[in-house]
Structure 1
Amino acid sequence: MKHVLSMLFLLICASAAFAQNTDSIQPRLDANTRKILNNQDQAAYQLAIRYNDFQAAKDKLYSLIVRNPDDLRYPELLGSLYFENGMSTSAALVALDILEVNDKSIGSLEIAAFSLEQLGALDRALPHFERLFLLTGDNFSLYKSGFIQYSLKKYQEAINSTDMLIKNAKADEKIGFPVSQTETQEIGMKAAGLNLRGMIYLDQGSKAEAKTAFEEAIQLEPNFTLAKENLKKAM
């Protein structure tokens, strides 16, 4: 718990942008020298990525960020590097700094949303998933928004999200549900939305509405394991 509280404190305090963080230590270089150093660090970064050397790649990105405080490409790469290596706190902090400068950065919104979710900061992850949906129309982001709203017991918001999801889901959209430690079941987005709607109703004690939603999900996906398990709870 102490670790989680410390992490959340860091996230709350992390509001300064990269340009602000690096201005005071930015060396004054002529354009040609800067270009040469950038090319060297970019080549070293690419080689480190090729050889799976996380530490070397990270160090080169920090050099590039300090030398080019207004270029968001480098912090975006750093955030992705942290995220891909499972360092959710660092990934979230980098993404949040980027969003202070460019609140429409899709990649940073994704990293912030998923990293904060992984850290258990659902209330902070939710607005990033919601904004992702508004900017991209991505139904997976809408599903994540609805599921987090349900988890936070924001039931009316969650119902609104599932209504939109069920209406807008495309036939070829799938979402994975774990059925064991090693196996995942791919389910159509509309059936996933119906199952989530049933979970919301079940959480509110409305078993009849929950049962209907689960049955509709199973009609669409007869092998939907989670919906079948949830239906038993609504009987």
Structure 2
Amino acid sequence: MKHVFLMLLMAFCASTTIAQTADSVARLDPKLKKTLNAADQAAYQLALRYNDMASAKSSLYDLIVRNPEDIRYIEMLGSLYYESGQSMSAALVSMDVLKVNDKSIPSLEIAAYSLEQVGALERSLPYFESLYLLSGDNFSLYKTGYIQYSLKKYPEALNSMNMLIKNAKPEDKVGFPKSQTETQEISMKAAALNLKGMIYLDQGSKTEAKTAFEEAISLEPAFDFAKENLAKTN
């Protein structure tokens, strides 16, 4: 009970502070607000130039508090967190943006990849799905299928891979690790066939898996991962 009381007290204090800040901003002289915004925008650019991410974030927070209606600053904060490797913060900021604008492609990308990076696959999946639907980006469809496969949503994963096999373009590529220092570039269609085989293999359908892996190798004869998977069907 003590912990619950402390959490409620902290939430009350935080909401009071936010309300007071919003009230203070509302009472700012428009000319002063414009001057402060210009100063913080200049500080933000200078901080980026000198790779001082902490100062850049601080300037953005001031701009966000002073301009709560301008979603650009929140989007910029999400990008900074993502580029700094702070995946959880990047995800939280981007999800807030998407509550206001659920068609923001940059925020969908950041939310999807950040949540995947922290292991929240179930949460990341709808963002990858939305990203594909809005952008038509085939790599987003591949990621959708891979996460569906990881979550054992096999019918959905198969549907995603069948769509990708049909729609993949020759220039679409997926990188697979060949060694600790090398990456193998594989066509999207071959990658989709390989993942399709993995789905069948997980379900115990070795004949269908073997067919998919062989098709992937026929497209990419040097596809090491597909060869390793094919060996599992024997």
Q: TM-score, normalised by structure 1?
A: 0.89
Match of 1:54 in 2: 53
Corresponding residue for 2:190? 191
| 8 Å CA contact 1:22, 1:69 repeated in 2 | no
Partner residue in 2 for 1:222? 221
**Structure 2 SS opposite 1:73:** helix
Aligned to 1:35: 34
Taking the aligned partners of 1:139 and 1:79, their CA distance within structure 2 comes to 24
Task: Identify if the C-alpha distance between structure 1 residues 23 and 69 changes in structure 2 by more than 3 Å, giving closer, same or farther.
Answer: farther
Q: Aligned partner of 1:115: which letter?
A: S
Is contact 1:147-1:196 (8 Å) kept? yes
Q: Distance in 2 between matches of 1:226 and 1:168?
A: 22
Q: Which runs of 5+ in 1 are unaligned?
A: 1-20
Q: Report the AA paired with residue 224 of structure 1.
A: F
Percent identity of equivalent pairs: 70
2:8 corresponds to: none
- With 59-68 and 172-181 compared, the bigger mean Cα shift is at 172-181
After TM superposition, which residue ranges in structure 1, 4 or more long, deviate above 3 angstroms?
A: 21-24
Aligned to 1:234, the other structure's residue is in SS state coil
Residue in 1 that maps onto 2:140: 141
Shift of 1:53: 0.5
| Secondary structure in structure 2 of the residue aligned to 1:182 | coil
Question: Structure 1 residue 37: deviation in Å?
Answer: 1.1
Counterpart Cα distance in 2 of 1:170 and 1:22: 49
Per the alignment, residue 71 of structure 2 pairs with 72
RMSD: 1.2
Q: Deviations over 1:146-181 (max 9, x none)?
A: 000000000000000000000000010111111222
Superposition pairs of residues 98-177 of structure 1, within 5 angstroms: 98-177=97-176
Cα separation, 1, equivalents of 2:20 and 2:71: 18
1:24 Cα shift? 4.8
Task: For 2:21, give the aligned amino acid.
Answer: I
* Partner in structure 1 of residue 3 of structure 2: none
Report the CA distance between 1:30 and its aligned residue. Answer: 2.9
Change over 3 Å in CA distance of 1:23–1:192 after alignment to 2? farther
Unaligned runs of 5+ in 2: 1-16
CA contact (8 A) 1:143 1:162 kept: yes
Per the alignment, in what secondary structure is the counterpart of residue 69 of structure 1?
A: coil
Measure the CA separation in 1 of the matches of 2:78 and 2:109. Answer: 10
State the structure with bigger RCO (CA 8 A, min sep 6), 1 or 2: 1
CA apart distance, 1:182: 1.9
Q: Counterpart in 2 of 1:96?
A: 95
For 1:128-157, what per-residue CA distance to the aligned partner results, in whole angstroms no more than 9, with x for missing partners? 000000111110000000000000000000
Q: Which residue does the alignment assign to 2:232? A: 233
Structural mapping, 1:8-27, within 5 Å? 24-26=20-22, 27=25
Aligned length: 215
TM-score, structure 2 length as denominator?
A: 0.89
Q: What is the one-letter code of the residue matched to 2:37?
A: N
Paired letter, 2:77: L
